[in-house]
Amino acid sequence: MQKISKSGILVVFGASGDLTQRKLIPAICSIFQNAELSGNRVLLGVSRTRYTDQDFRYRVSQALANKVSDKKIIVQFTKKVYYQNISFDREEDYEVLKSRIENLCKTTKVVSNVLFYLSTPPNLYYVIPENLARVGLNSEKEGYRRLVIEKPFGIDKKSSCNLNRHLLKDYSESQIFRIDHYLGKEMVQNIIAIRAFNPLFASVWNSNFIDNVQICANESIGVGLRSGYYDQNGAIRDMVQNHLLQLLGLVSMELPKNLDPNLIGLQIFKILNGVRIFKNKEDIKNNVVVAQYSCSQNPNIKESYRNESGVSPSSLTETYVAIRFFIDTVNWAGVPFYLKTGKCLDNSSLSVVVTFRNNISTLPGQKKMNKNRLVIKIQPHESIKLSFYTKKLGTGFVAKDVDLSCDYENIIDFGKKISPYQRLILDALDGNNSLFVSSSTVDSCWKIVDPIIEIIRKENMKNFLHFYPAYSSGPKESDTMLSKLGHSWYDKVSSPIQL
């Protein structure tokens, strides 16, 4: 059981924003009502909007109305909710905020532990931490002071380094928690557990036995209200640089001697530094497919990226990317890691698929056999599936492909599921940074994707961009890239061959 500091103030900047209302408020409410966290804790929302405490409590109760069935819980929670409006760029307003925090510590009798959560646009990652430090709210003399920031952490390696230098002027690395909500998902953490707790997999987790790895994040929705941000960034910056490379790190890192958070972070950093960097146009053409969703042949489907509100009708921003990476280490020599993500596809799912080599000689008269696979489904339905062969009933040796599966939704007494944000906020309160991203790891990720973006930009995106119909499985060029090494996307594999 985690040792959690049970008293303090959680300060959320951008408290009137969409992310706070949809994700953070429900997660924080769950933490506050949890018996394990029944200590004295309060929430202080901070934003530009002029709310009173009562106004903000009403918004909080509205955000919880469809997510918490017991109204008493909402009432109890809102009693611990407060609000302070400030202008983020006015230093004198931070003196007011400091006084409010000090007064809340006295009136609610909470310990002076403060977690600052920046649910704000990234340009405020410079402004807010600096102003907090100017009034001494970075000092840990009376209790911890921690800073949680959301992605994106810059738009390239240079801007990421600039942001990091700026933050480290006033905060230590141990005070900064760079959140990636993918790492808070139950099944993402299970990647480590599967590898660490099962000798069956630990002994074959290398290039001698693994043929290829696929990490796929499919989305069936378009860009929606994020078009302004998305059109300036695209799928590589939005998904590959953070979420998917972090998953690659968890899958491929060497397991540390123990599961100490710092050791896990170090191993992820090491393996990402081993990812082969693309150097020229030929590397991109052979290993990267970028595409954009366009109008479907179905007349009832009107979605096209260039028709989205806020998107230029001549936009060259990619909404889909598939990349084949290689890791230049002894353990992973020659094993391709395929990363794929896209919007407006025919399904929404997040999965890691490990395909093992078929090192067994085929018996006379047998057809080619499918390879064993371990499928870790992260969403929407959390499950683990291992495919292997057994003998079909009856006379003769006829092989049959079967699955062993573990569906988390159908397991009784398997513990209580918590949301990614709830888990990550709990870890930040406890000072556990194992599921947060270090500055060195952020830099390593940018080191991998910057050359891809730069080469494509230099050679003209028009020469690389493909198109795929909205709500399809993606561009055919992606399938072609895999087929050159005899591979195919797991979600397009045909029915198993019976021998």
Q: DSSP letters of 70-96?
A: -HHHHHHHHTTEEEEE--TT-HHHHHH
- Strand-pair category, 383-391 with 399-407: antiparallel
Is the overall model pTM greater than 0.75, yes or no? yes
Distance CA 64, CA 44 (A): 17
- Strand-pair category, 8-13 with 114-118: parallel
7-21 per-position pLDDT tens digit? 899 999 999 888 899
H-type alpha helices, 65-185 = 71-78, 91-107, 124-134, 157-168
pLDDT the model gives residue 263: 86
Whether 381 sits among the annotated catalytic residues: the reply is no
CB 125 within 8 A of CB 163: yes
CA-closest candidate to residue 10, choices 67, 71, 80, 78: 80
- Which residue in 166, 181, 243, 466 is the catalytic one? 243
pLDDT the model gives residue 316: 96
Complete domains list, the chain, with CATH: 8-150 (3.40.50.720), 183-415+439-492 (3.30.360.10)
48-103 per-position pLDDT tens digit? 999 999 999 999 999 999 888 889 999 999 999 999 999 999 999 999 999 999 99
Q: How many other C-beta atoms are found inside a 10 Å radius of the C-beta of residue 222? A: 20
- Strand-pair category, 288-294 with 465-469: parallel
CB 86 within 8 A of CB 94: yes
Distance CA 128, CA 122 (A): 10
Distance CA 348, CA 339 (A): 15
| Ranges assigned E (strand) in 269-372 | 288-294, 320-326, 336-342, 349-356
pLDDT tens, per residue, the chain with 499 residues = 344 557 899 999 999 888 899 999 999 998 888 755 546 889 999 999 999 999 999 999 999 998 888 899 999 999 999 999 999 999 999 999 999 999 999 999 999 999 999 999 999 999 999 999 999 999 999 999 999 998 889 999 999 999 999 999 999 999 999 998 888 888 888 899 999 999 989 889 999 999 999 999 999 999 887 888 899 999 999 999 999 999 999 999 999 888 777 788 899 999 999 999 999 999 999 999 999 999 877 766 778 999 998 899 999 999 999 999 999 999 999 999 999 999 999 999 999 999 999 876 665 555 666 789 999 999 888 899 999 888 888 767 777 888 888 887 777 566 677 888 988 998 898 888 878 898 999 999 999 999 999 999 999 999 999 999 999 999 999 999 999 999 999 976 533 332 2
Radius of gyration of the chain (CA): 24
pLDDT the model gives residue 494: 39
pLDDT the model gives residue 365: 55
Q: How far is CA 207 from the centre of its chain?
A: 26
